Amino acid sequence: MVNLSPNGEPANNRQHRGEVMALRKPGKLNKVKINMIAVDKSPIETDVLVIGGGIAGLMAGIHAARKGVGVLLAEKANTKRSGCGATGNDHFMCYIPKVHGNNLELILAEYYKSQVGGFSDPALATVFLEQSYDRVRDWERWGISMRPHGHWDFSGHAFPGRPRIWLKYAGHNQKAVLTQQAKKQKVKISNHFTVTDIIVRHGEAAGAIALDTTREQPVLRYIHAKSIIIATGCGSRLYPSPTPGWMFNTANCPVCTGSGQAMAYRAGAKLVNMEFPNRHAGPKFFARCGKATWIGLYKDPDSNPVGPFVSVATRELGDITGDIWSDVFTEKFKSGEGPVYIDCSTTSKDDIDYMMWGLVQEGNTGMLDYMAAEGIDVRKHAVEFMQYEPFLVGRGIEIDQHAETHIRGLFAAGDPVGNFRADCAGAATFGWIAGGSAAARAKRAAAFQDIARDPYARKRIRLYSAIMKRTIGPDWKEANLALQQIMNDYAGPHGRSATLLHAGSTYLQNLKKKTTETLKADNAHTLMRGIETLDLMACGEAIFKAAGERKETRAKHVRLDYPFTNPLLTDKFLTIQKKTNGRVQMQWRNRM
């Protein structure tokens, strides 16, 4: 049921559980203009606000709605085709007892060895594995083929002689199916509706500001919510892409820009593990995910395998070298032994067919169409692979086992979480957990809080208005490129040091100040991109500070001035939090 909120009055007296009130097309818009931006002051009221309609957001929305509360899902694009899973996925990490046996610990150990397990709290990883099969069954029931070959097919991302934990599935239709399921559960989906800021009142999540981008000129809206779930995806566009001048050539979704981490950080939530760069690898120069879908051997130009794992690649055991040593492509290049290719020419015909089918399910039809048009045939061509730029995934918001942050009523799931990662499966499972937790919290919460007069809300609206009002100044692209070059040179994966980080942090502060004071946008689209860029700068700030604090070299956090790995910091996580007085606080804690 949808009710309108007349005259922009807060609808505190008209709360009905299970309703989302005052939605996008009210009969009478109560618009006011602060400088040059329209603000619709009639608030939207919802029990649960889900920010982002990717895998985590849709799963969160479905579960919360099933618990009988009103859910508004705000998506900056369209849930049918948004986020990193827009056109598909083909690997879903999970624990299925009748396949893996009853010892979850064995599978947990395998998870830690995988490309996603490095920086997770065991408590969260355990909850994930315990519930992952339930989500597999949900998806299968809803119409995503989780057994496309008639059995539980655990293939790819696997070590020889070890348990295989990545379920091969047919995810080409996953976003459409989950969107349909969300609608069936009466989740109110608002597409082209970008949440820009979370408002915290009296230590609790109280609401958000969002940007309606359906028209040429943006309209800002207030959202009152009892629970908020951040499900905004990963953080691309922080570092330069493989192709200078083509910023959107990213393996992961280029409009997932660390906004969840930035919103949470500004709101006072803790971020964790921000200092660790994460780098993916794939075809050069067409940046794409899905390297484990390829079934071939990584080889040098003399056709020698570069990894030790397999001599013949099969659908069950491809070459996992790229998963656990994505640096191989960079290192072989730098040493003069490169480039490194993926060579599928010795893969069996059946497995090549399986691989091509898998690439469709993974969502790589754009790449396949291109390869067909260019005559690139994996049976006879070796394709060069490269290591891509760092991006944020599994680095960000700290949550507990219920997916709640340190701010009451604020939850997070999926890629923006910093102390757990399992990509698509992790998003599905923790999205579900977040939805249940947020619904329970909304049922307990008191009345809505009015955020229209919140000083922080007004400050942000003044900023967006100023950006729209300016006629001279840099656009978002200038600002984004300026950010990328600072991140690359001073907090890049090639090496960091106290002096470099100090200098880069100073330059970034200057850039952020300059951007805030001069950025201009001329419509809803460019304003959205500008806000994304400011969010990336906030993430960059946290990265600089955390990277300075971790005085050791670990994983891809390379400190040139501390080139050793400090045993005392093993299993130590670093959190960073902006306090209400603006001061940044960093704390070490044990992995839990």
Q: Residue numbers of the site for other proteins (CB under 8 A)?
A: 77-78, 80-83, 86-87, 191-192, 213, 243-250, 253-255, 283-287, 302-303, 339, 341, 343-345, 363, 365-367, 369-371, 374, 376, 380-384, 525, 528
Alpha-carbon 369 to chain mean position: 27
Residue 292, Cβ neighbours under 10 Å: how many? Answer: 22
Task: Kindly state the DSSP code that residue 13 receives in the 8-state scheme.
Answer: G
Nearer to other proteins, 49 or 528 (CB): 528
Phi, psi angle pair for 555, to nearest 5°: 50, -130
- Which H or E run includes 283? strand 278-283
Q: How many residues does the chain have?
A: 592
Q: How far is the CB of 333 from other proteins (least distance, A)?
A: 12
Q: How far is the CB of 80 from other proteins (least distance, A)?
A: 5
Nearer to other proteins, 166 or 341 (CB): 341
Positive/negative CA dihedral, 441, 445, 451, 454: negative
**CA 356 vs CA 159, 344, 378: distances in Å:** 22, 11, 9
Q: What would the 3-class secondary structure string for 134-197 be?
A: HHHHHHHHHCCECCCCCCCCECCCCCCCCCCCEEECECCCHHHHHHHHHHHCCCEEECCEEEEE
Q: How far is the CB of 218 from other proteins (least distance, A)?
A: 12
Nearer to other proteins, 72 or 528 (CB): 528
Spatial neighbors of 272 by CB under 8 A, at least 6 apart, are: 395, 396, 397, 398, 418, 419, 573, 574, 575, 576
Q: How far is the CB of 480 from other proteins (least distance, A)?
A: 11
Q: How far is the CB of 347 from other proteins (least distance, A)?
A: 11
Tokens of 409: 């009523």
Residues 541 and 510 sit within 8 Å (Cβ to Cβ): no
Spatial neighbors of 539 by CB under 8 A, at least 6 apart, are: 235, 238, 258, 261, 262, 265, 274, 392
Q: How far is the CB of 525 from other proteins (least distance, A)?
A: 6
Residue 29, Cβ neighbours under 10 Å: how many? Answer: 14
Instruction: Give me the residues paired with residue 270 across strands.
Output: 577
Report d(CA 250, CA 286) in Å as an integer.
Answer: 8
Q: How far is the CB of 543 from other proteins (least distance, A)?
A: 24
Residues 35 and 26 sit within 8 Å (Cβ to Cβ): no
**Which DSSP string corresponds to 423-460?**
HHHHHHHHHHHHHHHHHHHHHH--S----TT-HHHHHH
Nearer to other proteins, 130 or 384 (CB): 384
Q: How far is the CB of 518 from other proteins (least distance, A)?
A: 22
Nearer to other proteins, 365 or 516 (CB): 365
Nearer to other proteins, 170 or 200 (CB): 170
Q: How far is the CB of 366 from other proteins (least distance, A)?
A: 3
Residues 63 and 178 sit within 8 Å (Cβ to Cβ): no
Q: How far is the CB of 483 from other proteins (least distance, A)?
A: 17
Q: How far is the CB of 531 from other proteins (least distance, A)?
A: 13
Nearer to other proteins, 54 or 435 (CB): 54
Buried b (16+ CB within 10 A) or exposed e, 141-154: eeebbbebeeebbb
Positive/negative CA dihedral, 166, 309, 115, 299: negative
Nearer to other proteins, 87 or 278 (CB): 87
Q: How far is the CB of 25 from other proteins (least distance, A)?
A: 15
